[in-house]
Structure 1
Amino acid sequence: MENNLDKLKQRLQVHIPRVQMRYKRYESKYHPADVGFVVPPQIRGQYAAVLGWCGKAVDSLADRLVFRGFKDDNFGLQDIFNLNSPDIFFDSAILSALIASCCFIYIRKDEEGASALEVIEADKATGFIDPITGLLKEGYAMLATDELSRPTLEAHFLPDRTDYYVNGKFSQSIKNPAGVPLLVPVIYRPDAVRPFGRSRISRSAEYLQDHAKRTLERADITSEFYSFPQKYVVGLSQDAEPMDKWKATISSMLQFTKDEDGDSPKLGQFSQPSMSPFTEQLRTLASAFAGETGLTLDDLGFITENPSSAEAIKASHETLRITARKAQRCFGTAFLNVGYVARCLEDEFPYQRNQFYLTKPTWYPVFEPDMATLSGIGDAAIKINQAIPQYFNKDNLSELTGLDHE
């Protein structure tokens, strides 16, 4: 097991830089190296642009994923989550998993013997996953770090116990009655190739945001020449006094006299640069980013037209709706695993995972229905119930409308 702990530590170190970079992109604090060769570095640094498209891609999906609870909750899993600030816990876990592709839930007992749930980011935990159940076979987490991000409290999660290390030295071992490591992954879009999922901030989204950022910087620099077009004077005498450049730029009237030969200078102005190419390029990049993330140009700040109804909004966000439904299935299974392990720990009994097959996670609708949609649902429910009595009841209608029947 000690060898596995070293492997887990090495495995985590490989993924830390990538995870932290994605968090910086989400917070708009990541500044990639500029590949341009025209703008001098000292000028480029003065016009550094900040763009939050990656953060918008994450938030637009995370804000629509609202966990409702468990249906047929025979083991009282919802009670465990209700004691762990569910409004904060679910949102924090979903947001962290969307940014880094996964996060981890650390489960322990509090002073009163109830299960305490803590969200741990992907750059502080890892493990060996069971692809069938989605649970870990063995896990490792940095539970506390110092100001230099060095671990001060570490935990090695095993099926029968949890070993704790303080400043790299073994501290204590606590028995685990659950029979499953007390570190549960919450994964976004896992597959056979990437069992720990994929981030909402994809590499193509990163490229498009970086390209748009460079476009904004070049547009900002060009706007200086757009505001103050360059002028020139030819034919000045060599004996003429040099002009003050700032005065020549902002003055509305310049006076020139003829020289001794009777010649006068000629004034000119370079053609004014256009901002249209930058606007068109930025809009093209926004269209590509919207297609990559399931957003619309309106979501990215390019006003096209106002949808006339909630149905029109749904139609324009069809890709986002499908993505959200997929995310609900992924996170629903993960939250069920968290509840299962927490219940085993709290009851100090290793329940079988298949005993929880009747419990189903439920979510609020991705798009809140308006009055027209509610009216259409009501008419359809009446007609279907006439053909199949009691097909629609307060439970499935509540799932369709998002309104709690209580």
Structure 2
Amino acid sequence: MAYKGIDYLRKKLLIKRGRVKTRYMYYSMKHRVPDFGISTPPKLRNMMSTLGWCGKAVDSVADRLVFREFANDYFEINSIYQSNNPDVLFDSAILGALIASCSFIYIVPDADGYPRLQVINGDDATGVLDPVTNMLLEGYAVLKRDDYNNPEVEAYFTAESTIIYNKRSGAEIYDNPAPYPLLVPIIYRPDANRPFGRSRISRACMSIMASASRTIKRSEISAEFFSFPQKWVTGLDRDVEILDKWQAAMSAMFTLSKSGNRNDGEPKFGQFTQQSMQPHTEQLKMFASLFAGETGLTMDDLGFVMDNPSSQEAIKASHETLRLYAKKAQRNFSAGFLNAGYLAACVRDNYAFKRRQLYLTTAKWEPVFEPDAAMLSSIGDGAIKLNQAVPEYLDKETLRDITGIASNN
């Protein structure tokens, strides 16, 4: 097979890396929002205002995705994942995929030949994707960077071998027993136009976040006027020092001197009308509403307390869009985790199994919304009626899929 080569993949990663880093900056609330420079005093233009809405949009889905196990696990993939710290592995891969649209699982055998699994974020790995299997035809990853963020240890993956490039010790070549490269993508919402998926932090999310952050900044500046209203005085002598325009606008005292030699009597004092914070609050609420509509969250999730739902069903109804996002993510990630387990099984047994041999193996997830007591009662009543109509239609495994509660026997 003709490969594009490591140089091509290095350039491809360099192009995509900036976009991924931007989304990580929004997730970690370290992004800098450009200031329009219209209503901000020069001394406050470097002031940063941040919101955690992008992090909330990602975590609201990531925290609801709890991988349980593989059913019909004839290749003992569950045991491989159980040996590779699954509580951290699954959560890390899911979180990275939601932020960057794609994360990767790197498979390497240990000294005894048993597969070890490691998650690599989307800003450190890329490859050429097979659109049929959603596995890579060839891959590239940066395994270690130096203090200046330059690649120090790199890996190039093909179906025949894995090549490790170390700037200090040189290259090492390891044979690959699997039929695909040992770098598996975990993709969120892929399609024919974007095979590596889409980020949960979309362009609309970033634009709304920037506007909301500027609103917070303007409200902070306006709060100074709101807390200490500006006063004015007229009729002062012209010899009084005149402030520059920003000092005049921000000062607690605004002065107007006499014109010419007119004698208008004593100076007159007054106070401007106190500013209102209401326009800033309404504008921020508008952006919160736009962000909630974009991400499937509610206004309660973004800090604007509305009417509290009274039941689990009401909560599920208000998060219906979020539930659909989570179910879609489960389907996407199931394929990626199964592909990684399949290749790990090939490494463990040192044998190139066929991918179609795993057609019976399916991924099991915990329920997106954990049922409360009232919901459990409704499920129980429904299960009894269904089993009366069709005997043994619902067994304990099916009920666990619905409720997330495991039976002890």
Describe the superposition over 1:216-275 as per-residue Cα deviations: whole angstroms up to 9, x where unpaired: 000000110111111112234669999xx9xx959xxxxxxxxxx894332211111111
CA drift of 1:13 comes to: 0.7
Using the TM superposition, give the Cα deviation of residue 44 of structure 1 relative to its aligned residue in structure 2, in angstroms. Answer: 2.0
> Residue type of the partner of 1:305?
D
Rounded to whole Å, the distance in 2 between the matches of 1:161 and 1:201 is 35
Deviation at 1:38, TM superposition (A): 3.0
Calculate the aligned-residue CA RMSD, in Å.
2.0
- Match of 2:108, SS state, is strand
Q: Does 1:28 align with 2:13?
A: no
The residue number in structure 2 matching 1:64 is 64
- Asked if the contact 2:143–2:153 (Cα under 8 Å) also holds between the matched residues in 1, the reply is yes
Q: Quote the residue 1:116 is aligned against.
A: 116
Equivalences, count: 391
Cα separation, 2, equivalents of 1:285 and 1:16: 28
Task: Find 1:318's aligned residue among 314, 317, 320.
Answer: 320
- 1:288 maps to 290
SS in 2 for 1:235: strand
Q: Which moved more, 1:174-183 or 1:289-298?
A: 174-183
Tell me which of 274, 277, 296 is aligned to 2:276: 274
1:388 and 1:43, CA in 2 relative to 1: closer, same or farther beyond 3 A? same
Tell me the distance in 2 between the aligned counterparts of 1:57 and 1:2.
38
**Alpha-carbon offset, residue 396 of structure 1:** 0.5
Q: Provide the secondary structure at the position in 2 that maps to 1:392.
A: coil
Q: AA paired with 1:177?
A: P
Match of 1:43?
Answer: 44
Alpha carbons 1:44, 1:217 under 8 Å: kept: no
Q: Which residue of 1 aligns with 2:221?
A: 221
* Match of residue 257 from structure 2: none
Q: Is the 8 A contact 2:77 2:341 kept in 1?
A: yes
CA distance in 2, matches of 1:75, 1:240: 89
Return the alpha-carbon distance in structure 2 between the equivalents of residues 172 and 390 of structure 1: 57
Classify the secondary structure of the residue corresponding to 2:45.
helix
Moved more, 360-369 or 28-37: 28-37
Aligned to 1:196: 196
Cα contact 2:100–2:122 (8 A) shared by 1:
yes
Amino acid at match of 1:304: M
* Cα displacement (A) at 1:111: 2.3
Tell me how far 1:40 sits from its aligned partner: 3.4
Is 1:368–1:402's contact at 8 Å kept on the other side of the alignment? Answer: yes
Q: Is the 8 A contact 1:163 1:170 kept in 2?
A: no
Residue in 2 that maps onto 1:255: none
Q: CA deviation at 1:180?
A: 1.2
Match of 2:332 among 330, 351, 354: 330
* CA apart distance, 1:320: 0.1
Which letter does structure 2 place at the counterpart of 1:117?
Answer: L
CA distance in structure 2 between the partners assigned to 1:201 and 1:212 by the alignment: 15
For residues 292-350 of structure 1, the C-alpha deviation after alignment (integer angstroms, 9 at most, x for no partner) is 00000000000011110111100000000000000000001110011000001110111
Q: Sequence identity, in percent?
A: 53
Letter paired with 2:154: E
Letter of the structure 2 residue corresponding to residue 44 of structure 1: R
Distance, in Å, in 1 between the alignment partners of 2:386 and 2:337 is 33
Unpaired runs of 5+ residues, structure 1, are: 251-260
Give the drift of 1:11.
0.7
Paired letter, 1:119: V
Identify unmatched segments of 5+ residues in structure 2.
243-247, 254-262
**Alignment partner, residue 257 of structure 1:** none
SS in structure 1 of the partner of residue 392 of structure 2: coil
1:299 is paired with a residue whose SS is: coil
Structure 2 partner of 1:367: 369
What amino acid sits opposite 1:333 in the alignment? Answer: A
- Give yes or no for the alignment of 1:355 onto 2:357: yes
1:3-402 equivalences under 5 Å are: 4-45=5-46, 47-167=47-167, 170-236=170-236, 263-402=265-404
1:239 and 1:99, CA in 2 relative to 1: closer, same or farther beyond 3 A?
closer
- Alpha-carbon distance between aligned partners in 2 of 1:133 and 1:405, rounded to the nearest angstrom: 35
Is this contact kept in 1: 2:3–2:138, CA < 8 A? Answer: no
Q: Structure 2-normalised TM-score? A: 0.92
Displacement of 1:42: 2.3
